[in-house]
């Protein structure tokens, strides 16, 4: 059973991502290390003791739809309410609307734990919190007053309605339409698909944020507006009124996250209300809906990255526990009586260490991204811009590297279990199934790579990426300067990987500058992976250099060395693919018909 890795999380937050320094500077007011620890311990308790025990049964039962009503697994509505009542939904929201105003790092750290307990559970709150962010940033005073306090407390949940059958990665072609009404409201008509927790029995009301197109809107993404559409209308005194003209038409039969209802939502077909049309309120300006969505999109992407970290952590815990328990054969050098635990077999050791290194690397990258977000909020001017850019740069890597790691680590986790891994009751299979959606939603990892290469590398004319690589090189130099033989070949390995990153970055920059768009895009995914691997090496080294006083420095150094000497060599292959792979990719396109 998953146990939230509170110590590991606290260590990564403080000594790798940068919280320790920030606490020392007092940038977050009276937030102290003790308070951080207390929050993490309490969240860990809830994730381990309340959420995790309900994950398997939730997966088995799944969510069901009958007569437009979605029923989540037994005990799940109560679980959600207990979670919200404990204040976990309001961690980072502003105090003015009932939030606790804590740094984003704590949101990310707790998100990892909820997802570690059950990804199907955690994805609901993830979207609510995204809706809170969008509404906080762009909603009118009235909308905010009416909806935010209850969405922050968790009394109502939110949903995000973007995708349509023909509009997924490309939202510009969406067809859901909005009509203006004289009273300032709008009527929404259309169909949205893949709406996570679009309908459920956790809360009395659900606040849908819906992208739609006005009749006179420009074509493409510049003609999309964002609307708030509550399931039940809300009267001036906050009481729930009539049912709005929106309902859940069907839910999907999915590979994983079974307990999370994935809904097709129908707006404005006349099932409810006096006249057809779901009543909506504009959020932000007309035709600026996509910009409003992007406000929370980066955070949502990072939140999905946390799902990758969480699944990787859960899969690693499960596999390590099994490999220490299960005996089979005799490993080389095994001196014990009888068969050796399979963890002693070098091939199993390799799988488990790879899982551990990828998990910790993904965690470090995602937390570093959250740290950058926090820093952008507590700084000004150039410094704020620097941190906002850093967060922008790290977001696609955090999302993609962590979610790919989730899939890869969950797959290795099954392999470690042998035949038992294929049996659903073992639980390793659920992680493998759940993990698979994360590289897809909130922008496929291919979309993340395009974003990384075409929008993030050019930030500040390349100054941001150059500066970041320099920081990473400084870590490599610090390892070398430590002269600790336990690091083995880490310094040269890290240096080589960072040189690969630098060369690939330069090549992509040149390709884009030369207008060789297709060539740059052909290398985007390998580049994203290369970046994530290099960061994994650098952050594991940073952690190994840190003196946390917990007596685990030797372990961290050993893991860092393992990653450096076993995983880092892949960066050369990735660089080669970026620099030399595009031509053959273009000519071989014909093979696909």
Q: Which is nearer to its own copies, 170 or 285 (CB)?
A: 170
How near is the Cβ of 388 to its own copies at its closest, in Å?
Answer: 26
Q: Which of 160, 141, 144 is nearest to 152 (CA)?
A: 144
- CB nearer its own copies, residue 69 or residue 324: 324
How far, in Å, CA of 422 to CA of 56, rounded? 15
Q: Does 540 bind its own copies (CB under 8 A)?
A: no
Q: For its own copies, give the closer residue by CB, 93 or 579.
A: 579
Collect all residues with Cβ–Cβ distance below 8 Å to 429 and sequence separation of at least 6.
414, 421, 422, 423
Gap between the Cα atoms of 213 and 465, Å rounded: 36
Fill in the per-residue mask, 145 to 164: x = in contact with its own copies (CB under 8 A), - = not in contact. Answer: ------------------x-
Q: List binders of its own copies among 217-256 (CB under 8 A).
A: 252-256
Smaller CB separation from its own copies, 268 or 526:
526
List helix spans (H) across 442-523: 445-451, 463-482, 490-513, 517-522
Find the binder of its own copies among 114, 432, 468, 531 (CB under 8 A): 432
Question: What CA–CA distance (Å, rounded) separates 118 from 116?
Answer: 6
- Which of 85/170 has CB closer to its own copies? 170
Strand ranges for 14-133 from DSSP E: 64-66, 69-71
Segment near its own copies (CB under 8 A); pick from 126-134, 135-143, 211-219, 418-426 = 418-426
Per-residue binding string, its own copies, 168-197, x by CB under 8 A, is xxx--x-------------------xx---
Considering only residues 415, 458, 462, 506, which one is a binding residue for its own copies as defined by CB under 8 A?
A: 415
Using rule CB under 8 A, residue 329 touches its own copies: yes
441: contact with its own copies by CB under 8 A: yes
Interface with its own copies in residues 510-539 (CB under 8 A) = 517-519, 521-522, 524-525
Based on the shown chain and the rule CB under 8 A, indicate whether residue 424 belongs to the binding site for its own copies.
Answer: yes
**Phi/psi at 60 (5° precision):** -70, -45
In whole angstroms, what is the distance from residue 19 CA to residue 317 CA?
25
Q: Kindly tell me the burial class for residue 554, based on how many C-beta atoms sit within 10 Å of its own C-beta (0-12, 13-18, 19 or more).
A: exposed
The two structure tokens encoding residue 374: 């926090």
555 is catalytic: no
What's the closest the beta carbon of residue 437 comes to its own copies, in angstroms? Answer: 5
Which CB, 121 or 432, lies closer to its own copies? 432
- Interatomic CA distance for residues 150 and 576, integer angstroms: 52
**Stretch of 33-41, 90-98, 142-150, 411-419 lying at the interface with its own copies (CB under 8 A):** 411-419
If one asks whether residue 406 binds its own copies (CB under 8 A), the answer comes out as: no
The residue count of the chain comes to: 593
The residue from 53, 75, 446, 458 that contacts its own copies (CB under 8 A) is 446
Applying the rule CB under 8 A, the residues between 334 and 373 that interact with its own copies are 339, 343-353, 356
Q: Residues 399, 445: contact at Cβ < 8 Å?
A: yes
Residues 188 and 280: their CA atoms lie apart, in Å, by: 7
Q: Determine whether 275 is exposed, middle or buried from the number of CB atoms within 10 Å of its CB (0-12, 13-18, 19+).
A: exposed
| Pick from 72, 483, 484, 138: nearest CA to 288 | 138
The correct pick among 328, 378, 462, 467 for binding its own copies (CB under 8 A) is 328
Taking Cα atoms as reference points, which of 107, 101, 139, 135 lies closest to residue 122? 107
Q: Considering the complex, state which of residue 199 and residue 344 has its C-beta at the smaller distance from its own copies.
A: 344
**Hey, is 242 helix, strand or coil?**
strand
User: Between residue 473 and residue 492, which ones bind its own copies under the rule CB under 8 A?
Assistant: 486, 488-489
Place of tokens 């989540």: 72
Residue 23 or 414: which CB sits closer to its own copies?
A: 414
Give the whole-angstrom CA distance, residue 229 versus residue 192: 13
Cβ-based nearer residue to its own copies, 81 or 516: 516
* Shortest distance (Å) from residue 334 CB to its own copies: 10
Cβ burial 175-195 (10 Å sphere, 16+ → b, else e): ebbbeeeeeebbbbbbbbbbb
Among 348, 398, 329, residue whose Cα is nearest residue 368: 398
State the catalytic residue, choosing from 199, 442, 502, 519: 442
Tally of CB atoms within 10 A around 538: 30
Stretch that binds its own copies, among 34-42, 84-92, 294-302, 412-420 (CB under 8 A): 412-420
C-beta closer to its own copies: residue 94 or 492: 492
Q: Given the rule CB under 8 A, which of 302-310, 324-332, 389-397, 460-468 is the region that contacts its own copies?
A: 324-332
Compute the least distance from the CB of residue 575 to its own copies, in Å: 9
541 binds its own copies (CB under 8 A): no
Distance between CA atoms of residues 212 and 220, nearest Å:
11
> Do 106 and 90 contact (CB within 8 A), yes or no?
no
Does residue number 1 form part of the binding site for its own copies (CB under 8 A)? no
Q: Minimal distance in Å, beta carbon 291 to its own copies?
A: 19
Smallest gap from residue 316 Cβ to its own copies (A): 10
H, E, C per residue of 106-163: HHHHHHHHHHHHCHHHHHHHHHHHHHHHHHHHHCCHHHHHHHHHHHHHCCCEEEEECC
Q: Which of residues 68-107 bind its own copies (CB under 8 A)?
A: none
Nearest approach, Cβ of 587 to its own copies (angstroms)? 5
Q: Is 114 in the site for its own copies (CB under 8 A)?
A: no
CB of 408 to its own copies, least distance (A): 9
Residue window 547-586: x/- pattern of binding to its own copies, with contact defined by CB under 8 A? -------xx--xx-xx-xxx--xx-xx--xx--xxxxxxx
Under the binding rule (CB under 8 A), the answer on residue 56 touching its own copies is no
Which of 384, 402, 403, 404 lies closest to 392, judged by CA? 384
The catalytic residues are: 442
């Amino acid at each position: 059973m998953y146990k939230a890795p509170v110590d590991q999380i606290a260590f990564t937050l403080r000594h790798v991502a940068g919280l320790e320094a920030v606490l020392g500077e007092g940038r977050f007011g009276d937030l102290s290390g003790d308070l951080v620890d207390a929050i993490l311990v309490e969240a860990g308790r809830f994730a381990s003791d309340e959420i995790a025990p309900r994950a398997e049964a939730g997966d088995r039962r799944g969510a069901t739809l009958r007569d437009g009503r979605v029923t989540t697994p037994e005990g799940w509505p109560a679980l959600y309410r207990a979670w919200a009542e404990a204040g976990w939904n309001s961690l980072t929201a502003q105090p003015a609307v009932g939030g606790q105003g804590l740094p984003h790092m704590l949101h990310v750290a707790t998100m990892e734990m909820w997802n570690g307990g059950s990804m199907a559970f955690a994805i609901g709150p993830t979207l609510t919190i995204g809706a809170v962010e969008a509404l906080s940033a762009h909603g009118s005073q009235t909308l905010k007053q009416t909806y935010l306090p209850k969405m922050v407390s968790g009394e109502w949940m939110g949903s995000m309605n973007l995708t349509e059958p023909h509009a997924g990665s490309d939202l510009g072609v969406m067809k859901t339409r909005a009509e203006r009404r004289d009273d300032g409201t709008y009527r929404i008509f259309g169909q949205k698909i893949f709406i996570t927790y679009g309908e459920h029995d956790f809360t009395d009301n659900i606040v849908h944020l819906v992208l739609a197109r006005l009749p006179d809107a420009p074509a493409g993404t510049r003609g999309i507006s964002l609307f708030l559409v509550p399931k039940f209308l809300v009267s001036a005194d906050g009481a729930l009124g009539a049912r709005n003209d929106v309902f859940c038409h069907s839910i999907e039969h999915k590979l994983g996250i079974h307990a999370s209802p994935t809904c097709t939502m129908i707006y404005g077909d006349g099932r409810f209300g006096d006249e057809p049309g779901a009543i909506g309120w504009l959020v932000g300006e007309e035709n600026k809906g996509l910009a409003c969505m992007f406000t929370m999109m980066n955070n949502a992407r990072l939140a999905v990255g946390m799902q990758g970290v969480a699944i990787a952590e859960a899969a690693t815990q499960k596999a390590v526990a099994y490999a220490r328990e299960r005996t089979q054969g005799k490993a080389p050098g095994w001196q014990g009586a009888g068969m050796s635990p399979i963890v002693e077999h070098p091939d199993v050791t390799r799988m488990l260490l790879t899982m551990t290194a990828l998990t910790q690397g993904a965690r470090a990258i995602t937390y570093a991204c959250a740290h950058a977000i926090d820093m952008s909020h507590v700084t000004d001017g150039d410094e704020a811009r620097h941190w906002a850019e850093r967060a922008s740069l790290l977001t696609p890597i955090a999302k993609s590297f962590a979610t790919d790691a989730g899939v890869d680590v969950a797959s290795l986790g099954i392999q470690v279990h042998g035949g038992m891994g294929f049996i659903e009751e073992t639980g390793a299979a659920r992680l493998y199934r759940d993990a698979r959606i994360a590289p897809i939603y909130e922008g496929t990892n291919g979309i993340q790579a395009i974003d990384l290469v075409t929008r993030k590398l050019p930030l500040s004319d390349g100054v941001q990426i150059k500066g970041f690589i320099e920081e990473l090189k400084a870590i490599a130099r610090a390892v070398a300067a430590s002269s600790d033989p336990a690091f083995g070949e880490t310094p040269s390995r890290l240096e080589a990987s960072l040189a690969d990153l630098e060369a690939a970055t330069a090549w992509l920059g040149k390709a884009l500058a030369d207008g060789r768009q297709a060539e740059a895009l052909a290398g985007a995914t390998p580049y994203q992976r290369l970046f994530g691997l290099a960061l994994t090496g650098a952050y594991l080294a940073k952690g190994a250099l840190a003196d946390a006083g917990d007596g685990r420095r030797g372990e961290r150094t050993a893991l860092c060395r393992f990653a450096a000497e076993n995983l880092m060599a892949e960066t050369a292959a990735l660089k080669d693919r970026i620099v030399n792979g595009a031509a053959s990719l273009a000519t071989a396109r014909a093979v696909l018909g």
